[in-house]
Amino acid sequence: MTPDDFRQHGHALIDWIADYIEGVEQFPVASQVQPGDIRASLPEHPPAAAEPFTDVLADLDRVVMPGITHWQHPSFFAYFPGNSSYPAILGELAAAGLGVQGMSWVTSPACTEVETLMMDWMQELLGLPAKFLSTSAHGGGVIHGSASEATLASILAARWRATGGSINTTGDTSHLVAYATSQAHSSIEKGLRIAGIGTAQLRMVPHDGSFAMRVDELERMVADDIAAGLTPFWVCCTRGTTSSMAFDRVGLAAEVARRHGMWLHVDAAMSGIGALAPEHRWINDGLELADSYCTNPHKWMGVNFDCDLFYTADRAALLGALSILPEYLRSAAAASGAAIDYRDWQIPLGRRFRALKLWFTIRAGGVADAVEMIRRHVALTQQLAEWVRLDERFEIVAPHPLNLLCMRLTAGDEATDALIARANDSGAALFTRTVLDGVVACRVSIGGRTTDERHVRAAWQLLQSLAGEPT
């Protein structure tokens, strides 16, 4: 492809993306294909020679589009907000165009320094504790690809601190015990398992009626484990659980953690960005006592996936767990201590220039756009809750302080399951199912960049129309 070809096809692709995003409502929200359909529409073997790029672009419509579940559709109410924005797309494009690799400061200083500044900007915009600033004595932040990686990094830092660093040599995790609720994200159990902390070493702390951690039970379980000669080393509080958006009380859990020398991680992957709006800054309650924290601009800030903010108050533990310095990665800048090498703050070695999409979004989109969007989503969720309360066939099954509403049919699990399946099959909206204390619920996650009242109203009318007779 010549540079002129690239300009021509690049312009066409930019226009294709704008057409796609502006026209996304014409598509069914969820892909309607069956397993194997997409592959069957492509050649089983690679082409022998280069093809015209126009053919490739045409295949985006012909082949790819039928297999897309449209996360940017305003009637996408599934999983979690995954909203994107035009400035973020351009940020991703700029990163791809530069083609640099930011594993070390020296491999492209701008890649590291813009990222560090973005982490500090986000600390300010979210109102996070100053101990997470890069300029603080012991803390700092880094962009990870996902909250899963942030969780794992937190576990590894905690593991290192709890063993005085000996874990790096001995690999001995046999005495370590971790704590979370059954409502914590699956990446908690997965991260622990990866780190050699088996499920027998993960305590599921009971939750209360709001699906938040019972800290009295945490205290009791920690005491039992200590009495048994074990070492409680890590507790995860979630601020906005995936199933129902429950909020563990960080301050209370932190007291237990402090008393017993445990690392406290706060997972706010889904909801933390809500703190951009000052009235939702309660999301941060207790964070001043946390050892690490993560939240995702790729969920609720219009920064397309992947962009997770991971902060720690103890960077020495993180570096202790993850630094390895072979000869071919040494540099004078890093040796002097003046520069950050982010490869030592994450699981992989290589890294893209992800800070660009955050920088572009904050500057060109303005935080005001994100705040307006967050407020709109929260208001729509409360509006939906009012409608649901007026229909006796439905009940709301969890608190809904922000932008997730969990509801069910009073007719029971089977009816609720059937309702979700029929609604999703319609293509007019997409919801996710969950189970809360043994009861099936329909999650309505309101998080699309362009989701407005008409979409939520239509979604509710869809659910009502499919709900059947009252029991």
Of 109-117, 222-230, 279-287, 460-468, the window that binds a copy of itself (rule: CB under 8 A) is: 109-117
Please report how close the Cβ of residue 149 comes to a copy of itself at its closest, in angstroms: 5
Beta carbon of residue 254, minimum distance to a copy of itself (angstroms, whole number): 25
Distance (Å) of CA 152 to CA 191, 227, 266, 272, 357: 5, 27, 12, 18, 24
Residue 64 Cβ vs a copy of itself, minimum distance, rounded to whole Å = 5
Torsion sign across C-alpha atoms 314, 320, 322, 325: positive
Min CB(451)–a copy of itself separation in Å: 14
Q: Per CB under 8 A, does 105 bind a copy of itself?
A: yes
Output the smallest distance, CB 391 to a copy of itself, in A.
24
The footprint of a copy of itself on residues 182-221 (CB under 8 A) is 185-187, 189-190, 192-201
Total site size for a copy of itself, rule CB under 8 A? 154
Residue of 100, 319, 396, 411 interacting with a copy of itself (CB under 8 A): 100
Q: Which residue, 328 or 392, has its beta carbon nearer to a copy of itself?
A: 328
Q: Which of residues 20-49 bind a copy of itself (CB under 8 A)?
A: 20-22, 30-31, 33-39, 42, 44-47, 49
Q: 4: burial class by Cβ within 10 Å (0-12, 13-18, 19+)?
A: exposed
* Single residue of 230, 316, 319, 339 touching a copy of itself by CB under 8 A: 339
Site for a copy of itself in 233-252 (CB under 8 A): 242-243
- Reference 159, options 203, 189, 196; nearest CA is 196
CB of 138 vs a copy of itself, minimal distance in Å: 19
Which one of residues 77, 92, 232, 467 is an interface residue with a copy of itself (CB under 8 A)?
92
416 binds a copy of itself (CB under 8 A): no
Q: Which two tokens stand for residue 13?
A: 């692709």
Determine if 230 is a binding residue for a copy of itself (CB under 8 A).
no
CB of 251 to a copy of itself, least distance (A): 27
Shortest CB 470 distance to a copy of itself, Å: 26
Among 27, 107, 375, 410, binds a copy of itself (CB under 8 A): 107
Query: Least distance (Å) from a copy of itself to the CB of residue 289?
Result: 26
Amino acid at 255: E
CB of 381 to a copy of itself, least distance (A): 17
Task: Kindly write out the interface string for residues 354-393 of this chain, putting x where it contacts a copy of itself by CB under 8 A and - elsewhere.
Answer: --x--xx-xxxxxxxx------------------------
Instruction: Using the rule CB under 8 A, give the single segment among 205-213, 287-295, 325-333, 372-380 that binds a copy of itself.
Output: 325-333
For residues 360 and 460, which CB has a smaller minimum distance to a copy of itself in the complex? 360
Binding status of residue 335 toward a copy of itself by CB under 8 A: no
Candidate list 149, 225, 248, 291; residue touching a copy of itself; CB under 8 A: 149
Q: Sign of the CA dihedral 104, 110, 112, 113?
A: positive
108 binds a copy of itself (CB under 8 A): yes
Name residues contacting a copy of itself, limited to 157-186 (CB under 8 A): 167-174, 185-186
Residue 51 near a copy of itself by CB under 8 A = yes
Q: Three-state SS string across the chain, please?
A: CCHHHHHHHHHHHHHHHHHHHHCHHHCCCCCCCCCCHHHHCCCCCCCCCCCCHHHHHHHHHHHHHHHCCCCCCCCECCCCCCCCCHHHHHHHHHHHHHCCCCCCHHHCHHHHHHHHHHHHHHHHHHCCCHHHCCCCCCCEEEEECCHHHHHHHHHHHHHHHHCCCCHHHHCCCCCEEEEEECCCCHHHHHHHHHCCCCHHHEEEECECCCCCECHHHHHHHHHHHHHCCCEEEEEEEEECCCCCCCECCHHHHHHHHHHCCCEEEEECCCCHHHHHCHHHHHHHCCHHHCCEEEECHHHHCCCCCCCEEEEECCHHHHHHHHCCCCHHHCCHHHHCCCCCCHHHHCCCCCCCCCHHHHHHHHHHHHHHHHHHHHHHHHHHHHHHHHHHHCCCCEEECCCCCCCEEEEEECCCHHHHHHHHHHHHHCCCCECEEEEECCEEEEEEECCCCCCCHHHHHHHHHHHHHHCCCCC
Our finding on whether 259 is near a copy of itself (CB under 8 A) is no
Residue 274 or 365 having the CB closest to a copy of itself: 365
Interaction of residue 114 with a copy of itself, rule CB under 8 A: yes
398 lies in the site for a copy of itself, by CB under 8 A: no
